[in-house]
């Protein structure tokens, strides 16, 4: 299915995200570990190279992972990414943890949480990946970006890019401007306005 999906969008995509971390697909997160991940990533890389050869263009592929893995899991993902030669890692998808909303009346509902509840878990994964990958592979930071400072903290933790979803729903286009300004300030040697 992954190979078919890659091939079907290859001619139209600027880059492709391979999601191995959606909590809404039963069993999908199991693909993030052990030989399952290495076999999947090797197959994805093979399909990418076949498409490149046949179609004459290279489309980067990034793998989107969960925020709920432990340090060993993060190290394993980093190692598998380096070994297979994929182009980037997106950290992270939604969280299945309910710690951040433990007292909320709907905390027991199924599915992944995005926005503020995933911010710290996502940041921890970005930091862990960067500790393993350094500058060898770009990290795209996602999760809990609700203001400029939370976008800049992902960059400070080692991300090269950020994606914004839930924050954009609540804040609209002003969040993009604020994120760009905060990241630019950070890149010019400034510090974040508030502690993460």
> Which tens digit of pLDDT belongs to each residue from 17-71?
998 876 555 554 465 556 788 899 999 999 999 999 999 999 999 999 989 889 9
- Nearest CA to 196 among 158, 162, 148, 159? 148
Residues recognised as catalytic: 22
- Nearest CA to 121 among 65, 62, 191? 65
Task: Name the pLDDT band for 194 (thresholds 50, 70, 90).
Answer: very low
Instruction: Name the CATH topology of 2-187.
Output: TIM Barrel (3.20.20)
Sign (positive or negative) of CA dihedral 89, 91, 95, 96: positive
Task: Name the pLDDT band for 195 (thresholds 50, 70, 90).
Answer: very low
| 122 in Cβ contact with 92 (< 8 Å) | yes
The two three-digit tokens of residue 125, written as one number = 């994964």
What is the arithmetic mean of pLDDT over 171-186?
94
How far apart are the C-alpha atoms of 19 and 21, rounded to whole Å? 6
Q: For residue 113, give the 3-state DSSP assignment.
A: strand
DSSP state of 33: S
Q: Cα Rg for the chain, rounded, in angstroms?
A: 17
> Which tens digit of pLDDT belongs to each residue from 151-166?
999 999 999 999 999 9
Q: What is the helix (H) or strand (E) element at residue 191, kind and residue range?
A: none
pLDDT score for 99: 76
DSSP lists the bridge partners of residue 124 as none
Does the global pTM surpass 0.85? yes
The two three-digit tokens of residue 168, written as one number = 């954009």
pLDDT of 104 above 90 = no
Pairing verdict, β 139-142 and 161-163? parallel
Give me the residue label for tokens 């197959």. Answer: 43
What is the arithmetic mean of pLDDT over 134-163?
96
Of the candidate ranges 22-26, 76-80, 93-97, 131-135, the one whose mean pLDDT is the lowest: 22-26
The two three-digit tokens of residue 164, written as one number = 């914004």
What is the arithmetic mean of pLDDT over 83-91?
95
The two three-digit tokens of residue 148, written as one number = 């400029």
**In the chain, where are the structural domains located?**
2-187
pLDDT score for 88: 97
């Amino acid at each position: 299915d992954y190979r078919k999906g890659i091939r079907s969008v290859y001619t139209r995509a600027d880059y492709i995200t391979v999601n191995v971390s959606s909590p809404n697909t039963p069993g999908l997160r199991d693909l993030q570990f052990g030989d399952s991940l290495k076999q999947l990533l090797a197959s994805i890389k093979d399909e990418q190279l076949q498409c490149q050869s046949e179609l004459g263009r290279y489309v980067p592929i990034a793998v989107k992972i969960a925020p709920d893995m432990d340090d060993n899991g993060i190290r394993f993902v980093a190692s598998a990414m380096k070994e297979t030669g994929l182009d980037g890692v997106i950290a992270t998808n939604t969280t299945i943890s309910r710690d951040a909303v433990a007292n909320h009346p709907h905390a027991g509902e199924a599915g992944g949480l995005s926005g503020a509840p995933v911010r710290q878990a996502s940041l921890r994964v970005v930091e862990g990946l960067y500790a393993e990958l350094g500058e060898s592979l770009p990290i795209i930071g996602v999760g809990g970006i609700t203001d400029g400072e939370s976008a800049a903290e992902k960059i400070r933790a080692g991300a090269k890019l950020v994606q914004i979803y839930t924050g954009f729903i609540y804040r609209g286009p002003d969040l993009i401007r604020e994120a760009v300004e905060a990241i630019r300030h950070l890149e010019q040697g400034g510090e974040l306005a508030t502690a993460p």
